[in-house]
Chain A
Amino acid sequence: MKLDEFFVTGDPLIYGADVSIALTMIGAIFVLTYFKKWKWLWTEWLTTVDHKKLGVMYIIAAVLMLFRGGVDALLMRAQLTVPDSSFLDANHYNEIFTTHGTIMIIFMAMPFLIGLINVVVPLQIGARDVAYPFLNAVSFWTFFMGAMLFNISFVIGGSPSAGWTSYVPLAGLELSPGVGQNYYLLGLQIAGIGTLLTGINFLVTILKMRVPSMKLMQMPMFTWSSLITMVIIIFAFPVLTVALALMTFDRLFGSHFFTMMDGGMPMLWANLFWIWGHPEVYIVILPAFGMFSEIISTFARKTLFGYKAMVYSMVVIAGLSFLVWVHHFFTMGAGGAVNSFFSITTMLIAVPTGVKIFNWLFTLYKGRIRFTTAMLWSLAFIPNFVIGGVTGVMLAMAAADYQYHNTYFLVAHFHYVLISGTVYACFAGLYFWYPKMFNHRLNERLGKWSFWIFVAGFNLCFFPMYFLGLAGMPRRIYTYGIGDGWMSLNVLATFGGVLMGIGFLILVYNIYYSFRYSPRETTGDPWDARTLEWSTPAPVPHYNFAHLPEAKGHDAFWIMKEEKKQGKAPEKKPYKPIHMPSYSGVPIIMSVFFFTAGFGMVFSWHWMSILGLVGVLATMVIRSFDYDKGFYVSVEEIEETEKKTTL
């Protein structure tokens, strides 16, 4: 392979990206060296197994990916603003909508949510760490390396261009002969390992690591939603693993699962992809529901309405989410019986979701509402998500779907559920739990500016798309003619997209601004909140709780505060040594080998893939022979830390 085939050439945008990547890397290396931070980076962050730090790293990675995916989105909007635009060529446009979709779902939404789950859930259940701290680090690093592998595709070798769903035959070897599709397959495969491990880890954590006094039906709603999400992850991700592996075999080793020749079934790919893909939608929405529940309850100063109904509706969603996948390809023509069945299950799954909407409304009813930024995001979520949900029920009708399928109506629908559901929740959760992570709040004034601009931009961007869809504009076209009559609505949408970008930039500026100017936290409970994570002092010690808290019902921390007001202060017990796991460099090294193996397979450099896989196995063997049992935090250290904290 020649060097000019290896590096993507010939496009000024890519050269710009090359330069900015090089400059960022040089900048990072310079800063780390100049401030002598290499050792700190390695010992405090890269080898950490602390769930709070891993959570923060997930969120940082997710915000970077949100930037990348957002730039992709704005490039698409720029191209579509006016008819017959020649800003991007067809192939470049295809690459951009492919990476936009993949990155936003797999490398932005999921890590953002998993990051918040990492930070918050162990604190909410009164645990000192997760069930498998080492695996938690493996999860993060495999996700991170998978994301990096996917992302380097646009400067080395070329990006995938067959859509985030990668339907065959388009994604097959004949029609996508380059390495781009291989990047997609291996990047997702490596990141998927991490996600599956997260699923097992947090399922066991939530079930077995709660403080003994907390019953299942007393868990905070965010913990409940995480629990259900983990169940879905555990059973959905293996399906993706297999689907990706089969396509990898088709492309690299000449098998015939999805090929047009020799008996392959191209639509089998769509079938397998969506068996994972639909549960995936619930994986990214259920934690969002959990966060909104916490935030609405906190800022309405009321306990959550219909707790049990919330839990049971999520359990029903978890079961039904595996029985609706065909609604993504009604137009395949599987026949009346199949389409009817999946049409009905799809409409059924709207019922528990509707139940939850009413629960939030009743929680707000007669509440003394505080309009913080986190609360604003949660309040905007309700009407916007209802629009997305109702249009979803329209799409669920198989016969009607033949009309909407593959139009901007669908694009508008899933952005309405994913942005007003997942992205609003990520922002709401970030504002809400930010003081827990960084010991200061984000500025509320900037937060409200960013909120109003983003929400206005979002509705301006995507509401017109419903009408573009009804006017017949198909998705994934790179341009359209002047005679199609789609221009005015597209201009509107682009304007909205720019506003969303500005809203995001204000959020990023807010992070910098608050770091500089926000007052440091003096208590661990800035919002007068209700659940146990707020009972920890500021900053949260690495062992989380000096004494394990006691949960006496829903809103355990609220009950503790009420008892304190009545003068029932908990007696001071002596500290005991706390057992904590040791940090380890094995996860990051193992993930680098995963990356090596993946990169080798992308280019079919078998020596490199074998080297990588041997490395992976070697690190596993090293781990197996490692009998490190962790360490004990001494009573003196606990006393010292607890004196310094501010509660």
Chain B
Amino acid sequence: MSNNEQTNSHSHFPWSHLIGFGLSIVLTLLALWVGFASDFSFRTIMIIVVILALIQAAIQLLMFMHITESDSSRIQVGTILYAVFIAVAIVAGTIWVMSFGMHNMNM
């Protein structure tokens, strides 16, 4: 029980939520700027915005969802990390495997 960090003693102002919210807005605007106002190549843009999205997801998990707070935090973090591995396998794998048909895209 003792490692429940997010406890009632935090009765003061919810700073971590506010910081998380601020960071989310900044990251969204940054992604927007990279997408529309920067002159990176298309590939670079996509890499950057995907990284920004991953950071933002991590902020949600850590600062809003308190993934690390309970007794079972190791299982919770392990589940999400394994899910990320599966997500990469499914998305990257599918795009790679199905890319054989890309030459007749506009059928």
Contact = CB atoms under 8 A, between A and B. Distances in A.
Q: Do chains A and B touch in the complex (CB under 8 A)?
A: yes
16 contacts: A231-B82, A263-B106, A263-B107, A265-B101, A267-B101, A272-B94, A322-B85, A322-B86, A322-B90, A323-B93, A334-B97, A334-B98, A334-B100, A335-B100, A338-B97, A338-B100
A322 B87 CA distance: 10
Contact of A275 (B82, B85, B94, B107): B94
B100 A275 contact: no
B85 to A, nearest CB: 8
B89 interface: yes
A231 B86 CA distance: 11
B51 to A, nearest CB: 23
A323 B92 CA distance: 11
A267 B101 CA distance: 9
A271 B97 contact: yes
A207 interface: yes
A542 to B, nearest CB: 28
Interface residues of B, number: 18
A234 to B, nearest CB: 8
A326 interface: yes
Interface in B55-102: 72, 75, 82-83, 85-86, 89-90, 93-94, 96-101
A333 B89 CA distance: 20
Contacts of B90: 239, 275, 322
**In the A-B complex, the 9 residue pairs with the closest CB atoms:** A235-B86, A334-B100, A322-B89, A334-B97, A338-B97, A326-B97, A335-B100, A271-B97, A271-B94
A265 B100 contact: no
Contacts of A239: 90
B107 A323 contact: no
Contacts, number: 42
Interface of A: 207-208, 231, 235, 239, 263, 265, 267-268, 271-272, 275, 319, 322-323, 325-326, 332-335, 338
A333 B98 contact: no
Given A275-B90, A275-B93, A207 B75 contact: yes
A393 to B, nearest CB: 22
B98 A268 contact: yes
A338 B86 contact: no
B98 A271 contact: yes
Given A323-B89, A338-B96, 7 more contacts: A235-B83, A235-B86, A239-B90, A265-B101, A267-B98, A275-B94, A338-B100
A322 B96 CA distance: 15
Nearest to B107: A263
A267 B89 CA distance: 18
B72 A208 contact: yes
A235 B83 CA distance: 7
A333 B97 CA distance: 10
Contact of B82 (A235, A272, A325): A235
Given A275-B94, A322-B86, A322-B89, A333 B100 contact: yes
Contacts of A323: 89, 93
B73 to A, nearest CB: 13
A267 B90 CA distance: 15
Contacts of A326: 97
Contacts of A322: 85-86, 89-90
Contact of B98 (A263, A265, A319): A265
B60 to A, nearest CB: 20
A152 B83 CA distance: 36
A496 B83 CA distance: 44
